[in-house]
Structure 1
């Protein structure tokens, strides 16, 4: 009789997967008008599951550093492809000026401010402080879906949503040189070898340049075989959005093989792919596939994050770390965001919303895992606790405020937030 109450772990996994997939499909609808987000629910479920006595696994990132790096990497590249595909606005220096302001001004200012805070008030060494700054400065492409533009050709692309989507797509690649700078400084402190010329030539010029060029070429190739090849064998005829995953993995893999920034390459591939035939309905099919895979992987990752919280991820925190996390989210990001947007022609409410919703998430976890896997750091438990706290507070703070704030912004701009396509009635600024 006892075997009736001891199901096969494999069966439990299948059952849990069924519940998880059902939640992936249903929860976004259920939470659409509530001041609650899908990530908050996932973290709560994960904390509850891993608090049970039967849960023997403690999914702490320090215990599984390689898995942490690779799993977050996988989720991010899927999110970057989805972000690039759903941007309707044609790429250009003037049309994307909000993006350039956030990438070239807000991001480096945020990194510098967090580094200064960590190196002085928190007492970290300067290389470790820089790693923390580079990890916590970028806006996350995975968890920022509630403030991003809608699917391709939906018209849901106001300045706020476009700015946050394009920023999240680009700043992962833009932050990577600073992670490598932290690694280079750490190695130089131990060996005394010069680092500046190699870092600038290789980690900045080559890896950014090759990442952009590789992403563009791969996007052009996929655009041609999908939409332009003069035959019935062009991929758009299949209607199978899985080709977006192929483009994602090839773009990331090939550019990483030549040692360039794969994150940047994937986003550029997505933009170039979309530009090959901007009005084709097949973009919606590809976006839907990437979104489903992204949401499923994100929920698994957030369940594990909730489990890590329940198993002591935050135990190493000091009071100064808690105060610093609040400063990072409530002072540094909003202030640097507004500095970057100074002079930008937009309503004050729009600029404040962009500055506030710099959501931290999977990108922060990835960069910290990557840095710790490539440099020797004493007290890594504290670093993981700080990153975990910032991500948790960001998910709670932004998740609870995003629905009322975005609905208020829509109403103030003359849009109906309850309409099926709330932006259809407004003037679409995507082609500017």
Structure 2
């Protein structure tokens, strides 16, 4: 027997072992110094980069600049599951006045952030107008996948702090609401700055129609899924089996059907989660379903973060000091300032306003949007966009990941 052939090293198996090791270390190492929920996201990215650099035989995910499709599909699925879980987390949507800070973050803070990032992209990085708009749309929304530490707890826990409620609902809705600006970047790239030729159509279709259809589809999907789970057959409802697979299938059905009629599927699944949570509110199935989807979300996120870390050395080959400056300005100035301005007049304390303004983590959603745009249009600044987005995700997960537990404890104890 040829022992060399018998013990041949398979790069695929090396990758599996490396991913497993990285995820375990990222979850375990923080517990050596803190009892808080481990800040594992930044460690997964950093250890993923270290693995790619130190293990020559390890295969990595395809370069997203050359093959965006695998990244788009995997990140899309992670965001879908996370958005539905975010909707499921909210125990009570009433009174309606508690939504006022969320509405301001969506209607004021997000457009301010997009415009500010776009101006920085043109002024500091010499991006095209289309590339700058796309950059703003990609980096403006907070991430529902990595924002779990600042969100409200699972169903039936109650006690939803206004800061957590605002950050939860913002993360649940702003991913879908960033899509019109992604389309705007694509339109400008294809048709130029002749606003009169496309502005009305963009507003009517990409803003009004897609948002309204997404919201209606999510409400209808949540009601339909509740009917299947809780109502028929009444003597033996499907929810009593505790099977989360059927509900997850319903989420995929809702997302896919919404996209088929050109609505925003991200809005639909978030609204679906909130709608389903209102049906049979005290049923134990809501907690089981939340925990089931959260496990899937964590698994997908871990793979994506390790994969992102593995390709960062490639992406950062094009990194410039201007991009470092833009990333720091976004995280430390633009998001906090836009959030602070938008919350003026809400009656919230300065501490609560500061927390909402600061903790807008960027992550998996940004990967999806950039991949989506790249798969639909070739941009002049693709390498610059990827290096900048990769840096923002890294810095955001590090700065927010290692400070959020301490900050939220301070706020809730105040």
Query: Does the TM-score normalized on the shorter chain lie above 0.5?
Result: yes
Q: Tell me if 1:348 matches 2:350.
A: yes
Structure 1 Cα separation of the partners of residues 22 and 254 of structure 2: 29
TM norm structure 1:
0.89
Give the alignment partner of residue 372 of structure 2, picking from 356, 370, 373: 370
Structure 1 Cα separation of the partners of residues 28 and 38 of structure 2: 14
The answer to which structure has the higher helix fraction is 2
Taking structure 1 as reference, are residues 27 and 288 closer, same or farther at Cα in structure 2, changes over 3 Å only? farther
Superposition pairs for residues 234-273 of structure 1, below 5 Å? 234-273=237-276
Aligned to 1:418: none
Range that drifts further, 168-177 or 225-234: 225-234
Taking structure 1 as reference, are residues 141 and 109 closer, same or farther at Cα in structure 2, changes over 3 Å only? same
Alpha-carbon contact 1:59-1:307 (below 8 Å) kept: no
The structural deviation recorded for 1:401 is: 0.9
SS at match of 2:97: coil
Structure 1 Cα separation of the partners of residues 143 and 72 of structure 2: 15
Structure 2 Cα separation of the partners of residues 245 and 28 of structure 1: 31
Alpha-carbon contact 2:26-2:43 (below 8 Å) kept: no
Structure 1 Cα separation of the partners of residues 167 and 150 of structure 2: 7
TM norm structure 2:
0.93
Range that drifts further, 378-387 or 241-250: 241-250
Aligned to 1:297: 300
Range that drifts further, 188-197 or 87-96: 188-197
Q: Tell me if 1:276 matches 2:279.
A: yes
Superposition pairs for residues 86-165 of structure 1, below 5 Å? 86-90=89-93, 93-165=96-168
SS at match of 1:94: helix
Aligned to 1:388: 390
Range that drifts further, 403-412 or 167-176: 403-412
Range that drifts further, 382-391 or 22-31: 22-31
Alpha-carbon contact 1:35-1:402 (below 8 Å) kept: no
Structure 1 Cα separation of the partners of residues 386 and 353 of structure 2: 31
Taking structure 1 as reference, are residues 288 and 324 closer, same or farther at Cα in structure 2, changes over 3 Å only? same
Structure 1 Cα separation of the partners of residues 248 and 6 of structure 2: 41
Q: Tell me if 1:317 matches 2:326.
A: no
Structure 2 Cα separation of the partners of residues 239 and 11 of structure 1: 34
Range that drifts further, 12-21 or 47-56: 12-21
Aligned to 1:173: 176
SS at match of 1:88: coil
Range that drifts further, 24-33 or 173-182: 24-33
| Runs of 5+ consecutive residues of structure 1 not aligned to the other structure | 413-432
Aligned to 1:84: 87
The structural deviation recorded for 1:324 is: 0.9
Aligned to 1:407: 409
Range that drifts further, 141-150 or 312-321: 312-321
Structure 1 Cα separation of the partners of residues 388 and 19 of structure 2: 30
Runs of 4+ in 1 over 4 A off after TM superposition: 7-32, 190-193
Give CA-to-partner distance per residue, 1:200-234, whole Å, 9 cap, x none: 11111111111111111011001122123352342
Aligned to 1:194: 197
Aligned to 1:43: 45
The structural deviation recorded for 1:357 is: 0.3
Aligned length in residues? 411
SS at match of 1:213: helix
RMSD, matched Cα: 2.4
| Runs of 5+ consecutive residues of structure 2 not aligned to the other structure | none
Aligned to 2:71: 68
Give CA-to-partner distance per residue, 1:276-313, whole Å, 9 cap, x none: 12221110000001000000000000000110113x21
